[in-house]
Amino acid sequence: MQPRIAPSLLSADFARLAEAAAAVPDSDWLHVDVMDNHFVPNLTIGLPVVQALRKSTDLPLDCHLMIDDPDRWAPPYAEEAGAHNVTVHAEAAADPVMIARDLRAAGALAGLAIKPGTPLEPYLELLRGYDTLLVMTVEPGFGGQEFIADALPKVREARRRVESGHLRLAIEVDGRIRSGRVIEVLSPLISERGAPLYLRSDNGPEFLAQPFVDWCADHRVALHYIQPGKPDQNAYIERFNRTYRTEVLNAHLVETVGELQALSSSWLQIYNRERPHDSLGRVPPLTFLPRPSSAAESLLAMST
């Protein structure tokens, strides 16, 4: 089975998800992180947004549901949003066997995810009814966490089970890995088995850094960037989304869309006009780049 790359929309600008999907046309799947602020302490997007996204891209949607009660909420992502693969967490599922049957009956692949601290062994038999296994190498809930190497033995064991014929599924690995960690992992493997022909990554700053580029050139490893754009784009967008979730979505209880619009508009004015940003030389965004911002208008349009 050929490796697949599924960039996560968690790193995208939530006000421009269609543009973010269009920016990675060479990806195999598009990873959609759905969080409910119950199973994980974060809130992202839900079924209506995924339905809208389905109309905006031809990429297969790989929906990772970090939510409570997936027995109830998972099938609609296949039936109503047309997701290609729907993954639920073993820790949240009441009847994972029935969930897999329901997802397959709805025309989607069925995936089971396990957290870094969750053992693989109790799920080996029921995984016979699944199409994908998602091994988390970070705690679900937030992007940008450090890679947890202790999860790798589960990946190796799952791979061994697939190669022996016990399981027939694809193995996904979810989490961030730094460019320095890539070098640490690949260096001994290159000594034993030779260098890979190429690496595919996003265009984050550390993967564009000269030391990493030089290391790849020294080992004749081609770099294929799957997302065009400015080098710091992903980091800025993720910082904005994280701050917005923390200071607006998770900090206030609103009863109407109008309340959320007003709250968001007021917060964006402060964020763009008054708040100094370390990454911009301790000045607000509109001082650093004085031009009309459509961020508030786009965000409000998304909320309606």
Q: Which helix (H) or strand (E) holds 215?
A: helix 210-218
The pLDDT tens digits of the residues spanning 47-72 come to 999 999 999 999 999 999 999 999 99
| Of 217 and 197, more confident | 217
CA triple 47-49-54, angle to 5 deg: 95
| Contact indicator for 176, 136 with CB cutoff of 8 Å | no
**Residues with active-site annotation:** 33, 174
Rounded CA-CA distance 232/192 in Å is 35
Closest to 136 in 3D by CA, of 102, 91, 72: 91
Residue 291 has pLDDT above 70, yes or no: no
Rounded CA-CA distance 107/60 in Å is 13
Q: Which residues have C-beta within 8 Å of that of residue 72, sequence separation ≥ 6? A: none
The pLDDT value recorded for residue 97 is 97
For the chain, give the percent of residues with pLDDT over 90. 44
The pLDDT tens digits of the residues spanning 124-162 come to 999 999 999 999 998 888 766 777 888 889 999 999 999
Residue 188 has pLDDT above 90, yes or no: no
**Residues forming beta bridges with residue 64, ordered by sequence position:** 33, 87
Residue 4 has pLDDT above 50, yes or no: yes
Token digits of residue 246: 């923390």
| Of 299 and 264, more confident | 264
Helix, strand, coil percent values for the chain (each to nearest 5): 45, 15, 40
The pLDDT value recorded for residue 298 is 43
The pLDDT value recorded for residue 231 is 47
| Of 290 and 88, more confident | 88
pLDDT-derived band of residue 32, with 50, 70 and 90 as boundaries?
very high
| Of 220 and 14, more confident | 220
Which of 72-86, 147-161, 288-302 shows the lowest per-residue confidence on average (mean pLDDT)? 288-302
The pLDDT value recorded for residue 228 is 53
Q: Which domains does the chain have, with CATH numbers?
A: 9-176 (3.20.20.70), 177-231 (3.30.420.10), 252-303 (no CATH)
The pLDDT tens digits of the residues spanning 271-285 come to 888 888 766 678 887
